[in-house]
Structure 1
Amino acid sequence: MPTLILVRHGRSTANTAGVLAGWSPGVALDERGAAQAAALPARLAGLPLAAAVTSPLQRCEETLRPLLDTRPGLPLHTEERIGECHYGSWTGRKLAELADEPLWTTVQRYPSAAEFPGPDGESVRAMQARAVDAVREWNTRIEAEHGADAVYLMCSHGDIIKSLVADALGLHLDLFQRISVEPCSVTAIRFTPVRPFVLRLGDTGDFRALAPDGGAAPGAEGDAAVGGATGAP
């Protein structure tokens, strides 16, 4: 079965401002995020990518643009189900303000019970379910089109990637806040008929060893950043 390369989008203007962006339009990469995206092609140069799949949000599309420029033949697909969590009326608000909301404690300690407020708010369970369904369907499609050793990429968001890692590790969703993925970090999951193997988690190094013949082996206190960490200063 395929190897999935999960790329979190580069640092965005919302990350810099401490705002929960959600599906807000017009959230672009900031200067550092653009530099992170520009470095991505070299970081992934050793990987024979079969396809790229992206969240429809601008910050993900901008993250992949330099990679696509260096690989003009790489097929690109947009997948709504790996788009950001629908944070409802929390969208666009400062994280520092949200930390005072009663729901914040649920999101931190019992996320499987958390549902974001408002008519378009989504539960964390529903977010994970749609993302996991998307990955499983794309695994089947990529394997059918490119073979069992294929490597493909998805560009998505912090909470989506954390929930996918939790699923791959067999962790209850209530533990997913223990996982951290910084902007433009790369997480790799190799799927097999028996189980997934998490090969990289939030990595920012060299990924040539993840190629099919690369020899990669399977195998503090504080609140989590809702929406994903903003990266080192």
Structure 2
Amino acid sequence: MPVIVLLRHGLSSANTAGILAGRASGVSLTDDGVTALTDTLRMLPHTEFARLVHSPLDRCVQTAQLAARYVSAETTAVDEAFTELDYGDWTGRSLKELVETPEWTTVSERASAMRFPAGESIAEAAERAVTGVSELVAELRTLEARTAEAAGAVDSEAGEKAADPRAWGMIVSHGDIIKAIIAAALGMPLDDFQRLAVAPGSFTVIDYSGRVPVMTAMSVTAAGLAEGSAPGGGGLA
């Protein structure tokens, strides 16, 4: 009965500059981003995680390190499945400039058809991220079964209920990657995923314990803001 918390990296220098950072180096959290993220981490609905995985990019590494101050994780690891989209030739360009290009209509309205020049397609990024979630959920289910077998769901002698048997996982990633995961969980076409907004430094919770995934929280921040009309939820960086 796994539950996944999707944590977007905190506000970064690229977010504040309005730049499409992609996989460029040297993009870190701002001081304001650290402060806001810290406030939000105190609101997490759960603090014990079986697995914490994160994108290898600096802003997600920093975010995972901050998260580790407020949660415990049995294992922490980098997972390339959740790295940022490869924006190719768009990397480092101003969003104000990019929204004026003919391709922006495809990004906004037909995301499944968009391949960034000399980069990755949105569909490819979505597929690797959703596959990564499926693999993590399967791993957590196996862990739950082993735990239940070892401890038992109910202590028959004491007549007490066992602790919450669900295994929780945390994924620290990027706006569009998280939006693609949410869209898949909700059965939304990828072409509609720009209707979602995921703020920097926010968390989203998806429960994978039932027949279909159920999203129980989305883009939660201490400030209560979705930063929301821009694709990516506060910027595609």
TM more than 0.5: yes
- Name 2:141's counterpart in structure 1: 143
- Structure 1's consecutive aligned runs of 4 or more residues displaced over 6 angstroms after TM superposition are none
- My pick for the range that moved more, 151-160 or 137-146, is 137-146
Shift of 1:71: 4.7
- Name 2:159's counterpart in structure 1: none
Amino acid at match of 1:139: V
Distance in 1, Cα, partners of 2:110 & 2:189: 10
Shift of 1:40: 4.3
Q: Aligned in 2, Cα 1:188/1:155: closer, same or farther, shift over 3 Å? A: same
- Name 2:83's counterpart in structure 1: 83
Shift of 1:49: 1.7
Structure 1 residue 134 corresponds to structure 2 residue 151: no
Shift of 1:70: 4.5
Distance in 1, Cα, partners of 2:73 & 2:14: 31
Deviations 1:155-206 (A, max 9, x none): 000000111111011011111000001011111110135210011111125x
User: After the TM superposition, which residues 19-98 of structure 1 pair with which residues of structure 2 at under 5 Å, given as runs?
Assistant: 19-44=19-44, 46-71=46-71, 74-98=74-98
- Partner SS for 2:172: strand
**Pick from 166, 170, 178: which aligns with 2:195?**
178
Distance in 2, Cα, partners of 1:109 & 1:45: 34
Distance in 2, Cα, partners of 1:173 & 1:64: 27
Distance in 2, Cα, partners of 1:77 & 1:126: 22
Size of the alignment, in residue pairs? 213
Structure 1 residue 124 corresponds to structure 2 residue 122: yes
Q: Percent identity?
A: 39
- Partner SS for 2:20: coil
Structure 1 residue 154 corresponds to structure 2 residue 152: no
Amino acid at match of 1:13: S
Contact 1:53 1:79 in 2 (8 A): yes
**Pick from 204, 209, 234: which aligns with 1:229?**
234
- Name 1:214's counterpart in structure 2: none
Contact 1:68 1:74 in 2 (8 A): no
- Partner SS for 1:69: coil
Deviations 1:123-172 (A, max 9, x none): 11111000000000011112212456111100000000111111011011
- Name 1:189's counterpart in structure 2: 206
Contact 1:180 1:202 in 2 (8 A): yes
Contact 1:108 1:224 in 2 (8 A): no
User: What is the TM-score with the length of structure 1 in the denominator?
Assistant: 0.85
Amino acid at match of 2:53: V
Deviations 1:18-57 (A, max 9, x none): 0000000110001111112323442227432222110111
- My pick for the range that moved more, 6-15 or 26-35, is 26-35
**Pick from 192, 199, 205: which aligns with 2:216?**
199
Amino acid at match of 2:52: A
Q: Aligned in 2, Cα 1:86/1:227: closer, same or farther, shift over 3 Å? A: farther
- Partner SS for 1:6: strand
Gaps of 5+ in 2: 146-164, 223-227
- Name 1:219's counterpart in structure 2: none
- My pick for the range that moved more, 146-155 or 64-73, is 64-73
Contact 1:81 1:131 in 2 (8 A): yes
User: What is the TM-score with the length of structure 2 in the denominator?
Assistant: 0.83
Q: Aligned in 2, Cα 1:156/1:23: closer, same or farther, shift over 3 Å? A: same
Amino acid at match of 1:179: L
> What is the RMSD computed on CA atoms of the aligned residues?
2.2
Gaps of 5+ in 1: 206-222
- Name 1:8's counterpart in structure 2: 8
